[in-house]
Chains A and B, each alone.
Chain A
């Protein structure tokens, strides 16, 4: 052997390096995965229960807090006389639920709540909401009941007159300023997450699946 005196030292160094390597590998290649965080949505780690409320679905049935049981729900507030933001968002939500189902998950319940119950009758909601997706639910009802929900969720709603009169003599010519956020409610009727604008289909789907613990 060329270096008999040094060989035990080399062997010891090699053993230490090997042990060090194994320890480092165990740290680096951990089998425990860190749970992902939503990228764009706000995730309420302590879910907030919704207040008791009672509205009417577009099929004329009572819809209250208990109606939210059994499935995840995405709530969106708008009105049928809104020609721009509301149809755009409902179209996006149609693609969102399509993508969630395409990825092998259950279709969430989508609830479109009218912030204009004075003009949005049950009949109007019945004609409007299913156009975007036959599974979507439209809600309307008394303004006081609506406000119970909007106050708790922090949905800003204000009514502004439109400047010019409409030719058909419609008396109530106003528009409604409203929050465009989407509210994610769990099957126990608790607010879990908020998706702010702009609403991008892929981002909503990714964050929805993270918050709901699906893949």
Chain B
């Protein structure tokens, strides 16, 4: 086992080395990032339900939080691991389940939009890879007037 111990003097020189590497603009930029962090769109709890062998339609679930002061619009989803992906919504009407594609989804400032089983989901069509629990798959969310957001979705056995 290797133990690394840093004396206060060596720590100081380590910091100095780091700052000199970051350059004159590095530190202010870092501060700026830290300040703007809460004003963002975050994606969390992304997962894909493991499907039986040969299944051509899978569902991904996640949570999008709009921490911006303006409305954002989700316009689509894509993944290199699937031929196509769409935004879908399941609705229950008098005991009948209906699944429909949604072109776009507006998320208000401060809104937490959940994609859950039996509600909204991202439909992943025709997998190009084996979708096995424990692996992750990269999903790219597309927004209107907003940069794409990439998320690693965990493949899990559905609950």
Contact = CB atoms under 8 A, between A and B. Distances in A.
Contacts, number: 95
Contact of A83 (B49, B53, B98, B103): B49
Q: Which of A84, A162, A163 has the most CB of B within 10 A?
A: A84
Interface stretch (A20-28, A65-73, A100-108, A123-131): A123-131
Interface of A: 80-85, 87-88, 91, 124, 127-129, 131-132, 156, 160, 162-164, 166-168, 170, 175, 177-181, 196-198
A177 B96 contact: yes
Nearest to B85: A167
Contacts of B90: 84-85
B140 to A, nearest CB: 15
Contacts of B98: 160, 177
Interface of B: 49, 51-59, 83-84, 86, 88, 90, 92, 95-101, 103, 117-118, 121, 123-126, 157-159
Contacts of A177: 96-99
Contacts of B99: 82, 84-85, 175, 177
A166 B101 CA distance: 12
A163 B97 contact: no
Task: Please provide the 8 A-B residue pairs with the shortest distance between their CB atoms, ordered closest to farther.
Answer: A131-B52, A83-B59, A127-B54, A83-B57, A167-B83, A85-B97, A128-B52, A177-B98
Give the interface SS of chain A, mostly helix, strand, loop or mixed: loop
B47 to A, nearest CB: 13
Contact of A82 (B53, B57, B124): B57
Given A83-B57, A127-B52, A91 B84 contact: no
Nearest to B89: A84
B118 A179 contact: no
Given A166-B83, A167-B83, A168-B126, A81 B95 contact: no
Contacts of A175: 99-100
Nearest to B158: A91
A88 B116 CA distance: 11
A197 B91 CA distance: 12
A128 B55 CA distance: 7
Q: Which of B53, B96, B97, B158 has the most CB of A within 10 A?
A: B97
Contacts of B126: 166-168, 170
Contacts of B57: 81-83
15 contacts: A85-B99, A127-B53, A127-B55, A128-B52, A128-B55, A131-B51, A156-B95, A160-B98, A164-B86, A167-B125, A168-B84, A179-B95, A180-B96, A180-B97, A198-B118
